[in-house]
Structures are given as C-alpha cells and as structure tokens.
Chain A
Amino acid sequence: MKYLKIIILLSLFSSMTAFIVHKFYVSTTNVEYVKEKQTIQIISKIFIDDVEDVLQKRYGNQVSLATKKETKKDEELLEKYLLGKLKIKVNGKEANLQYIGREYETDVVKMYFEITGVSSLQNLEIENKALMELFTEQQNIVHIKTPSKRRSLVLEADNPKGMLNFK
C-alpha cells in the first residue's frame, strides 16, 4: 500500500482519456551488476515527450529532443538532468555515474550510465526522482539484476528511494 502514491484530482483526470500514448507517467531503469567486469550497468528508459516537457520547463522552450533541432547542448541538459535525479549509493557510498550516451527508440530515450570499480556488492540504495517535479503521479520503476538475484522497485514522489541488501 505504501507505494500507492498521491494521485490528486488533476493528475487523475490527466490519466483518464482513451489515449494510445502512455496514459501513465512511467520510466524504467535497468540496473545490472556485472561481477566479472566489476561494473554496474544502467539503462534508463524515459518517454521523450515527458522529459522534453520537463527540460523545457527548466531551460526554456528551445530545448528539442530527437529532432533535427536537437543540439549538443540539449543532450548535455538531458544528461545533467538525469544525473541530478538518479542517485545511487553502492555499499553505502555515493557512486559516480559515468554517462555513456543516449539513443532514441520510437518515443523513448534510452540513457546509458556506468559505475566502475565495484568489486563486491553488499547493498544498493537507488533514488530516482526523474520527472516527479512535473508529474506527481510519475512512477520510476527500477529493475536490479545481480549474478544471483533479481529485484524491482517502484519509486514514487512520496517514496523516491529504495534500499536493497544482497548479503
């Protein structure tokens, strides 16, 4: 129950029409610990229109993603934005997420990050507040995979952080 987040009247209505576009504000982030490489590989998938909305609200209407008008600066804003919202602690320590790049797939942007030098994994704390400042009903789903375990988190505005122990 505690994951069932605030749905306020306005946001509720906004999810009501017979849309074919995503009616729900959802992002999916896959986090995989690859032991032999000592890395944590992260792929974050977000709807382009949602993230474009949020970037335009923050940085002005000229921001354009996945079009010919997209500039190097727009990509940097996207990177900066997600790095500001996605925080991962590995074994209790804030990790440094290295941005690898991004690609577009139909209406989704896939962003790639990597955390290196992870020789063992006792626990992970993941916070993903992406888009929550604009869409109160945003759900950020995180799937975590280690050589022996799979876990999922559903992060929401009133509970944007999750902790997983692997030992």
Chain B
Amino acid sequence: MKLIKYVSVLALFIAAGTMYAQEVESDVVERKPGHTNENRFKQLYEEFSTPNQYRSASGAPGPMYYQQQADYEMDIQLDDKESKIYGNETITYTNNSPDALEYLWVQLDQNVRASDSKTALIEPSGAAPADQASSFVNQYMGAAFDGGFKIQEVKGKGGDNLPHTINRTMMRVEMPENLAPGDKFTFSIKWWYNIPDHTIDRARSGYEVFDDGNKGYVIAQFYPRMAVYNDVEGWQNSQFWGRDEFALPFGDFKVNITVPADHILDGTGVLTNRKDVFTKDMMNRYEQAKKAYETPVIIVNQAEAEAASKGFSTKTKTWKLDAKMVRDFGFATSRRYIWDMMAVKIGGKDVMAVSMYPPEGNPLWEDYSTKVVASTLKSYSRMSFDYPYHKAISVHAKNQGMEYPMICWNYGRPDKDGNYSERTKYGMMSVIIHEVGHNYFPMIVNSDERQWTWMDEGLNTFVQYVAEQDFGEMYPDAIAPNKAYPSRRGPAKNIVDYMAGNQDYIAPIMTKGLNTYNFGANAYAKPATGLNILRETIMGRELFDYAFRTYSQRWMFKHPTPEDFFRTMEDASAVDLDWFWRAWFYSTEYTDIGVESVKKFYVTSKMNKQVREMMETRGMKESDLPPLVYLVEEGSEDFDETMKTATLDDVTTLQEYIMDNIPADQRANLKKPKYFYEVTFNKPGGIPMPIIAEITYADGSTERVTYPAQIWRKNDKSVGKVLASEKEITKIMVDPDEETADIDVSNNSWPAVKMEGDFEKFKNENKN
C-alpha cells in the first residue's frame, strides 16, 4: 500500500515536470468538445491515394506499372524569310495500358497564341493609371499576330481523313475502331504556323532578330504532341494556359529538318547525316572535340559565323536527327551561330557538352557555357543517375530559360561593347545549370509538369544549388573573388521572406502551378529549400542522397507522382517524413521556434514546499517516502544562498544512494553536474522542426544539442527540457546557423537579447 502511494506521488511530480503547459486546468474549465486526430505527426493516409499494382507503397513503380509510347517521324521546313514553319508528322501510338482507348488526345500548345486563345480571359483586370503602349495595344486593340497551329490534315495510315475536334490547346482524334491494349495506331498530321518573336513575349520558343537582320530560331512545342494517358489521370485533360508546362509520353523520334544551307543547326537526337551538313573543317574540329576533356573546341568560329551572316542562302540543307527514349523534341538554327563542344566522362562514357550562340553572346559564352554544361552533367549524375544521352546543348537566346531533351535555351548577354556585370555572368551560369539540369527532371524523371510544377522545378532547383556549389569548387577562378558560388535559392534563410509573407497570398506547394501566387517562390525556391533542409539538417547527406538517388533511378524514363517521391524518400531512408511533407508541402505553415524561459535549479536533500504540500494533502509523512533528491528553483521560497555553493556531495540522500549502489571503481565515471536548468522552448510557428540549441557556458565554450522534431509530438506549443551541467550556462540560442527557415529569430535566444536587426547593423557599419 505504502509503495503504491509513493509511486503515485512520484508520478505526480513527474507529470508536473513534463506537462506544465497543459496544467490541470481541465478540472476547472468547461469541458472541451472532442476532436479527430490533428497531430502534426499523423501519417498521410488521407492525403495519399491507396497504393496499387501500378504504384507501390514503397514509392516504386508497381508490378503492373505501364506507360504509353509515342513515336514520331517528321519532315520539317523552315521558311527563314517569312518566319513560318511547316511540318508533316507521322505518329505511331502504342497503347500499353490495360484499357481500350476510344480516342486519342494531341496537344496543340502553339494555340496559346491563337487569336481565340482564352489565356488572357482568365486573368482578372483593372484599369491601370498608365500602361505601356505595347501592353495597351495587346489588351485593347486586338492581337496583330496570327499565331497558333494551322492544322491542314489529320489522316490515317491509308490516307483516310480522321475526325478530329480542336478544343483550344488540345485536339481529339477519333480512330476507326477502339485501340485495344497492346495495339498500335499510326496517323499523320500536316500543319504550319507563324513563328512568334520570342523576345516580345518570352514565349519559350520563337525567333530573335539580330541587329544585322538575321534571325536565331529556338524552336519547341512546334509539333502536335501526344498527351499523356496514365493510371492516375486517364488522358491528361488540363489545357495549356501558358504557365504550367508539359506532360508528355516517351518515344523515338526521326526528324528531318530543312533549313537554309548556310544555317547551323542542333537539336534533340543523334545527327545521322553529319557528313552531308558539315564542312571538312567542321568535321576535323568535331573529331578533336570528341577528345577534348578540358577546354571546348570551336566547331564554327565567330569569324565564320559573321561571314555567313552577310549572306542569305536560297539553297537548303536537311539535318537528320534520330532520338531514342525522349519525351520531346527541340532544335535551334541560325546562320549566325558559333558552335563549340567538349567531351565529358560520365560513368565511363563520353558525353558531348555543347554550346551554340550568336556573336552577341561573346565573350561570356565562349568562356563559360560549355564548361558549365560539363560540370552540370557531373554534379547531376552524382546526385541522381549517369546522364543517359550522348550530348547536352546550351543555346544562347535573349531572355530565354527553357529546357527540352538534350537542348535548352539560356539568357545572359554582355552589352554591345562586350562588357558584362557579375550579375549577368552568374545569371547566365545559373540558368545554364538549371536548364541543363532539367534533362534529369522532368525530361527523364518524367513528372507531370502541368499538374505539379514543383516536381520538376523544385527538385531541379535543389540539385541546381548543389551543382552551383560544385561548379564554384571546380572552377574557383571563375567565381573569384567569391569563395563559394553565390546561389540565390537553396539556403534556408533565403526563403524566410516568402514564408513570413501574407498568408492570403501563399499557396501550399501541393497546388497546381497555375493557381499559385508567387510562382517562383512557391514552385522553385520553397521545395528546393525544403529538400536542402532535409539533406543538411533533418536526414543528413548520406541518408538523403541515397533516397534521392533511389527516387531518381526508380523513376528514370517513367512518370512519377508526388506520392512516389514522398514514399521513396521515406522507404529508402527509414526516416518517417510524413510530418515534414504535411507541413512543408501540403500547408503554408512556417517555422518559428524560440526560447521562452530558463529556470535555474539547485539540488538539495531538504524537502521543498511543493512536495511538502503534496504530502500534506495526502496525509503522508516524510518517513513514508524513499530517499529523495529535491530541486529548488533559484529565488523561490525554499531557496537559500548556501545552495549556490553546495555540491552534489552535500546532498546526503544522493551520497547514500551512490555509496550503496555504485561500485567504488565506477563512481569516478559519474558526472558531477552543478547547474540545473529547466529550459522551455516555445513554438509560435506551425512546423515542428528539430530544436537545434547552442549552449554557451561561462568559460566561453559552446555545445550543440539537437532535439528531433518529434519532441513536439505531444505538445505543439511548448516543451521543456532539463539541462544538467558542470559549468554555468550563460546563453542558449536556437537555430544558431539559421538552417530551419525560422521566420522570427528575435525570440531565439536566452537571455533575450535585443537583437541588433539588419537595419541597426547596416546603419552602424555605414557610420564608420
């Protein structure tokens, strides 16, 4: 009986120590209504769809996983004078699904620029006090440009016309009979369209007119492309409004592109008739480039590009490109291009890093582009999988930053005198890293950009950050006087402004890109930062990198969904991250953790008031209790100054226990803490991040303690922790390296320091 009694009393002390924040209020306040599981660590069963035979619970493709295939043969003609493009394409569509298909859907992305496009109609408008003339014309005077596909015919294999219906940027094609599982359907589409000037509307593809009147063409989304049919959406049915990018099946391409004979062209795929289109000089230089691992070899130099720019050939040349397992096709062509290449070893195989740019891009492009491409391939291959294609091309196009398989367009142009700022240089390097990086996400790890922008932009921006840092290490001279590459996105503290912003204008990452407010921060920076926090702070590099590579390799040349990513990251690391996905990806919560209070305690064997009162109410005497050690708060009724100088040796109950229970030879191993602190951490923010506490002692030394995020699992608002120390603690600081995106660091320290804000710091520095 006695035993039970004091056990229950002890339990009371313990409860008082750990659950103070909840108090025993429930006795006095009105009874609260019940509730469902709102724990921040609740698993995501309700948000995730049930795993099935197509997609496994592990995050890997399931045993019945399938994907469709679309193979293309295309003949393309460019009319350089009129800026028109003509195409005749034959699509062979393979139905690998278990479903019989009644129709096919083809994407007509160029129609976003058609005169009947509805893109502008979904944007609310107000009368601006002033408008640019060009905006005014576009908004109120009708579109002068006749954009969009002109579909001339859609025919079956035998030349029969196929019924088709165009719904804006999508076209439904009806087949003579349903396409059975495993069957193929071949049909052809003849089309043309007016190529837009991409410098006017930055529309991902089009032409740019140089000062000498020549044009540089960066051509993509230029052919009717098969939509994705899969186990999660059926037919992709979300229109192209202009922002959310593309969802495309894989396939093989054979493309013949006829351009003026004086053009230089490169695009997706292997050039199969190099001998027909290269001069002898180009051929020789190309052979050298294949063995150049350090410095790019110039295939067409600036003098040659400038000489060609003086003419305008009326003859044509046909460039033949053959690509296997790509989800899309793009090319760039101009008589004004300079061309250089070097080889880079990736997984024992040679890949060509290639750049194509007009003289307007020099000196910047000749110096950096191809080297950046090569370094990007190395970094991304380390983080995901060996680059499987044979080349990666970076094309310079004004104001562009856009990606396609093996080829991308990038900005970064010196002024007319050839000068450029650091900003232009880093802007150019970063965009090349980013767009070349898109070869991995989403060109190969083929996520649905139309629904989930973050899956390619966020993952890619994360690896971009790693690759930028790598580039800085690989080429320290290129980034001098910086010691590290000045990355914009990745470090946790760079996302604070966004996450601390007005909640009315923040959407969760798990939102379709079109419906987000601050697209760049929402779909690029925040997911990238989240992954960086997982890698650096929550999982550690080893566990994170293994899981991230597992995801990349599982879904290489396949179509993953967000859950496939979330599941794989947990499955391959044995780190339950549901709480993190829930907070960082499914909500707009933010991090804010602080030190609320610190109480100092002393140890004594003299019973304190709190315990005495508890005993009295239960009618117990001190002799009823086993030997106890009492903690007395500094400044409390029981506290007296002598406690400050007392040591553990003076606590008789403790000494007796040690003498009776611990063998003499082991007593020396016992720590002798002298100072006891009860630290209360509070969490005004919704995200349960780990508490990273830096403790500073009176002698100036510091120590870090990290309490995992799960410390918040039972109490979301505040938690207490007792620190026992041999040295006096003078300071406790939470998240000292700003690695958790804590939006308010003014509550991060004890004793509360009036933080010298950015403003004061700057003002004081500028006085001197």
- Please report A residues at the B interface, Cβ cutoff 8 Å: 1, 3-24, 26, 28, 32, 41-43, 45, 48-49, 64, 66-67, 69, 100-101, 103, 106-107, 110, 112, 114, 133-134, 136, 141, 143, 152-154, 157-159
B138 within 8 A of A: yes
Chain B's nearest CB lies how many Å from the CB of A93?
22
Query: In the complex, which residue of chain B has the Cβ closest to the Cβ of A108?
Result: B488
Contact of B55 with A by CB under 8 A: no
Q: A143 touches which one: B124, B127, B501, B762 (CB < 8 A)?
A: B501
Of the candidates A9, A20, A22, A66, the one whose C-beta lies within 8 Å of that of B431 is: A20
* Interface contact B119-A9, CB-CB below 8 Å: yes
Contact (A43, B501) CB under 8 Å given A13-B203, A107-B427: no
The 18 sampled A-B contact pairs (Cβ below 8 Å) are A3-B505, A6-B128, A8-B120, A8-B125, A8-B131, A15-B243, A17-B203, A19-B520, A20-B464, A23-B519, A23-B520, A43-B759, A64-B421, A69-B419, A103-B762, A112-B762, A114-B759, A153-B502
Known contacts A13-B202, A20-B401; is-contact A154 B435 (Cβ 8 Å): no
Does B155 reach chain A (CB closer than 8 Å)? no
Q: Which of A12, A15, A43 contacts B120 (CB 8 A)?
A: A12
Which one of A7, A12, A101, A153 lies within 8 Å of B766 (CB-CB)?
Answer: A101
- Interface bits B487-527 vs A (CB < 8 Å: 1, else 0): 01100000001001110110000000000001110001000
Report if B617 contacts A (CB, 8 A): no
Chain B nearest CB, measured from A6 CB (Å): 5
Q: What B residues does A43 contact at CB under 8 A? A: 758-759, 762
A18 to chain B, nearest CB (A): 5
Q: Once the chains bind, are B242 and A12 in contact (CB under 8 Å)?
A: yes
Residues of B within 8 A of A110 (CB): 758, 762
Most B CB within 10 A of own CB, among A21, A107, A134: A21
In the complex, the chain A residue whose C-beta lies closest to that of B121 is A9
* Chain B residue contacts of A20, Cβ below 8 A: 401, 430-431, 434-435, 461, 464, 489, 524
Q: Does B763 touch A at the CB level, under 8 Å?
A: yes
Q: Is the CB of A13 within 8 A of B201?
A: yes
Cross-chain contact A24 with B519 (CB below 8 angstroms): yes
A67 to B123, CA, bound (A): 38
In the assembled complex, the Cα of A59 lies from the Cα of B123 at a distance in Å of: 33
The 9 A-B pairs of least Cβ separation, nearest first, read A13-B201, A152-B502, A158-B126, A41-B759, A7-B123, A20-B434, A67-B421, A8-B139, A9-B120
B741 CB to nearest A CB, Å? 16
Assess whether B457 is interfacial by the CB under 8 Å rule: yes
Q: Mark B411-444, 1 if CB is under 8 A from A, else 0.
A: 1000000010111001100110011001000000
Q: How far is the CA of A151 from the CA of B222 in the complex (A)?
A: 47
Q: Are A41 and B757 in contact (CB under 8 A)?
A: yes
Confirm or deny: B37 has a beta carbon within 8 angstroms of a beta carbon on chain A: no
Q: Point out which of A8, A9, A106, A114 has the most chain B C-beta atoms below 10 A from its C-beta.
A: A9
A18-B435, A66-B422 known; 12 new pairs, CB 8 Å cut-off, are A6-B126, A10-B135, A12-B242, A16-B201, A17-B202, A19-B520, A20-B430, A66-B421, A67-B422, A112-B762, A154-B505, A159-B126
Q: What's the minimum C-beta distance from A49 to chain B, rounded to whole angstroms?
A: 7
Closest to A45 in B: B497
B401 touches A136 (CB 8 A): no
> In the bound complex, do residue B402 and residue A152 qualify as a contact, i.e. CB atoms below 8 Å apart?
no
If A9-B119, A10-B201, A20-B464 touch, whether A107 touches B757 (CB-CB below 8 Å) is no
Specify which of A16, A106, A141 is in contact with B488 (CB 8 Å cutoff).
A106
The answer on a CB contact under 8 Å between B401 and A18 is: yes
Q: Does B258 touch A at the CB level, under 8 Å?
A: no
Q: How far is the CA of A163 from the CA of B551 in the complex (A)?
A: 49
Known: A8-B135, A20-B524, A158-B126. A143 touches B500 (CB 8 A): yes
Q: Count of B residues near A, CB < 8 Å?
A: 65
User: In whole Å, how far is B177's beta carbon from the nearest beta carbon of chain A?
Assistant: 39
Q: How far apart are the CA atoms of A21 and B201 in the complex, in Å?
A: 16
- B328 to chain A: which residues have CB within 8 Å? none
Shortest Cβ distance from residue B645 to the other chain A in the assembled complex, whole angstroms: 38
Q: Nearest Cβ distance between residue A134 and chain B, in whole angstroms? A: 8
Considering only CB atoms, which chain B residue lies closest to A159 in the complex?
A: B126
Q: B36 at interface (Cβ–Cβ under 8 A)?
A: no
Q: Which of B108-134 contact A (CB under 8 A)?
A: 119-120, 123-132, 134
Separation of A8 and B200 alpha carbons in the complex (Å):
13
Q: Assess the B427–A157 pair: CB atoms within 8 A.
A: no
| Chain A residue contacts of B245, Cβ below 8 A | 18
Contact of A16 with B204 in the complex, beta carbons under 8 Å: yes
Give B127-173 interface residues, CB cut-off 8 Å to A: 127-132, 134-135, 138-139, 143
B400 CB–A CB distance under 8 Å: yes
Q: Which of B318-344 contact A (CB under 8 A)?
A: none
Assess whether B403 is interfacial by the CB under 8 Å rule.
Answer: yes
Partner of B763 from the list A14, A16, A112 (CB cut-off 8 Å) is A112
Chain A residues, CB < 8 A from B202: 13-14, 16-17
Residue in A12, A18, A103, A106 whose Cβ sees the most chain B Cβ within 10 Å: A18
Inter-chain CA distance A18–B441, complex, in Å, is 13
B486 within 8 A of A: yes
Minimal beta-carbon separation of A130 from chain B (angstroms): 14
Given contacts A12-B242, A14-B201, contact A19 B488 (CB under 8 A): no
Q: How far is the CB of A164 from chain B (nearest CB, A)?
A: 13
Cβ-neighbour of B128 out of A15, A134, A157 (below 8 A) = A157
Are A16 and B134 within 8 A (Cβ)? no
The answer to whether A21 and B128 have CB atoms under 8 Å apart is: no
A112 touches B402 (CB 8 A): no
Bound-complex Cα distance A16 to B486 (A): 25
Can you name the residue of chain B whose Cβ is closest to the Cβ of A39? B759
Q: Please determine whether B461 and A32 come into contact, CB atoms closer than 8 angstroms.
A: no
Query: Which residue in A7, A49, A159 is a CB contact (below 8 Å) of B423?
Result: A49
Q: How far is the CA of A117 from the CA of B488 in the complex (A)?
A: 37
A16 contacts B203, CB within 8 Å?
yes
Which of A3, A10, A100 is within 8 Å of B134, CB to CB?
A10
The answer to whether residues A136 and B131 also contact, given A16-B242, A17-B402, A41-B757 and a CB cut-off of 8 A, is yes
Measured CB to CB, the closest approach of chain B to A26, in angstroms, equals 7
